[in-house]
Structure 1
Amino acid sequence: MGLFYHYCVPSTFHSIVSGRSLWLSSLSMSNDSMEGKLVSNIVSTLAKDDKVEAKVLEEIKTIVGFYEYVADGFGICLSVEGDLLSQWRGYAGDATGFSIGFNGLYLAQLAEQQKDANIVVQRVIYDKQQQVDLVKPLYETIKKRVESGPLGEQDETSAEATESFGQALAYEEKLNKARVNLIQRFGPTIPPSLFAMKSSAFAEEKEWRVISLGVALGNCSFRVSGNKIVPYRSLALDDLTQPAIVKVILGPKNPTPKRVVERFLENNGFKDVRVEQSTLTYR
């Protein structure tokens, strides 16, 4: 594995190096408005193509919505391109920040060390057909369970047949428990790729992610990002047989002297890191 670059503003660069850790943030709260919605959209499209009954479609969408509510992928975004103008502009303070080159072999070792915490290194999928192929098994599982009526034994005791408000509430509670049980059963089989799908409009970024799967909000920390509170999980950059950071690129508009960055890295235990200035001209 080669290098994977994380573009960031100076304050984030300082935090990663001085804290010797990565912050894996909620992917559903990223700047991409479609993040976290692709699965729902693909499931809806598959259901419509199958011409499933309206009530089945609504139940499928409800279950997917339940899953998106109780489960999330936490991650940090990386790129195989270390000096890309769109990345500098979008993620590194309009080119005033840094591009941190992480050693792919180190990230693989870190993921193996943290496998009990469901840490994976995952390539982002941009191709629409590949996305459909990934989501389809999940859709088929949910559809089969809904159509076979396991979510509440929908017979004469269904919500439509209840005779009182109390019976309707009892039925809905039973149905919700069945939905949660279904999510708990298929949740562990969800591939990490479902947390690494983006629109083809972002393909230039050639993104990879370090992802932590199934993080409960009770087991994470919170930070401020812009005008919102974002949950995150801290992942320590422990010393392993491979070096963690091997290269740092200063953005086209970053005025920090390279010698300062080199000393900062050394003072925090990151030795022999190549520090370079971006080759791009951008004002």
Structure 2
Amino acid sequence: MFDLISQRLFADAPQETLYHYTTLSGLLGIVGAAELRCSDIRYMNDSTELRHTLDLLSDHVTRRILSGVDNPALLTTFLDWLTHRVVSGPMLFCASFRGNGNLLSQWRGYSVHGKGVSLGFDPAHILDCALRQGFEVGQCVYEPALQAKMINEIIDTLETLAGQTPSDVRAESENERWMALFQSIEGDLLRISAVLKHPAFEEEQEWRIVSPTISDPASAPVQFREGTSMLIPWYPFCLRNAAAELAIEHVFLGPTSNIDLSMNSLSLYLRNAGATPAQPITYCDIPYRKR
């Protein structure tokens, strides 16, 4: 039942060019290795990742308990379980794309002045790469009413499944069954969380590639990089299709004080790497000053 909820979120396919913002250093890594480094959802740039869905669930469950539900113990136990699983649960890796490859907020957030690019990929290419690697592609949901409806459906389904416990089951056994139920839906909850974003980020028009859930990092190609204040787990997403093509469709060069030289060297690099975009490179034309 929960898998049907998450499947609906990943049912729509992108039609527009998908842009990935990065630094020049990131560009060298992406093109050189022909892969994206997908970060665990808990370690992504937006500090509200995962926490936003947890807050929505917590608010909704609290309102239900206060209104008088048949089984408040179930919902209380569920909230307690969620709180503990936020940090220590299975891993889920994501990478972000935007429908708009030239947003000032993204140049500020994902690149350094004079060192930013957004790489545009054919959506069919990304979908093909995702399918071959067991990833899903989903558009982020920002509309509060749609998020509330989805959270309501999640709790309805949880109560329905938990209500199937036989009435003569002892309390200890019932709690154990609840824990087994929570664990069985954890992967779907993570996938749902990956595409529910705070409404403040709506202008980003974000799409995400989302990995399978990983319970044992030692059995998967999980790697680590240095972050600002901690190590960041990441998972490789190969950008080559079955024909071994990187297939970059378009590139925006971000704000820089050296437009001509930067455009020239970027073009030379992509050509030498065999990754010349299908369309000419475009300068962003945004008057963003380094401070």
TM-score, length of structure 1 as denominator length: 0.81
Aligned pairs for 1:1-283 within 5 A: 1-51=15-65, 52=69, 55-65=73-83, 68=86, 69-94=88-113, 96-114=115-133, 117=134, 119-145=135-161, 153-155=169-171, 158=172, 175=175, 178-187=177-186, 189-190=188-189, 192-216=191-215, 217-218=217-218, 219=220, 220-240=222-242, 244-253=247-256, 255=258, 257-273=262-278, 274-283=280-289
The aligned residue for residue 161 of structure 1 is none
Q: Deviations over 1:78-134 (max 9, x none)?
A: 1111111111011112463111111111111112222xx2x0111111111211222
Cα pair 2:129 2:238 within 8 Å, conserved: no
Superposed displacement of residue 179, structure 1: 5.0
Whole-angstrom CA distance in 2 between matches of 1:271 and 1:244: 8
Q: CA deviation at 1:202?
A: 0.7
Q: What is the rounded CA distance, in whole Å, between the counterparts of 1:113 and 1:7 in structure 2?
A: 23
Displacement after TM superposition at 1:17 (Å) = 0.7
- 1:250 shift after superposition: 1.0
Name the stretch that deviates more: 10-19 or 219-228.
Answer: 219-228
Q: For residues 48 and 187 of structure 1, what CA distance do their matches in structure 2 show?
A: 20
Give the partner amino acid of 1:277. Answer: Y
5+ residue gaps, structure 2: 1-14
Q: How well do the aligned residues superpose, as a CA RMSD in angstroms?
A: 2.8
Superposed CA deviations along residues 233-270 of structure 1, whole A, max 9, x for unmatched, are 10111234686311111111264522321221222221
Cα-to-partner distance string for 1:145-203 (whole Å, 9 max, x where unaligned): 556668x9443xx5xxxxxxxxxxxx9xx95x645522343345558343111111111
Higher mean C-alpha displacement, 33-42 vs 66-75: 66-75
* Larger of the two Rg values belongs to structure: 1
Q: How many residues align?
A: 262
Q: Given that residues 144 and 199 in structure 2 are in contact (C-alpha distance below 8 angstroms), is that contact kept between their aligned partners in structure 1? A: yes
Give structure 1 stretches of 5+ with no counterpart: 159-170
Counterpart of 2:251 in 1: which secondary structure? strand
Q: Partner letter of residue 209 of structure 2?
A: V
- 8 A contact 1:100–1:248 mirrored in 2: yes
Q: Is the 8 A contact 2:138 2:209 kept in 1?
A: yes
Identity level (%):
24
Q: Distance in 1 between matches of 2:20 and 2:270?
A: 16
Give the TM-score of the pair, scaled to structure 2: 0.79
Counterpart-to-counterpart distance in 2, 1:30 and 1:269: 30
Could you say if the C-alpha distance between residues 205 and 188 of structure 1 is closer, same or farther in structure 2, counting changes exceeding 3 Å?
Answer: closer
Distance 1:4 1:264 in 2: 21
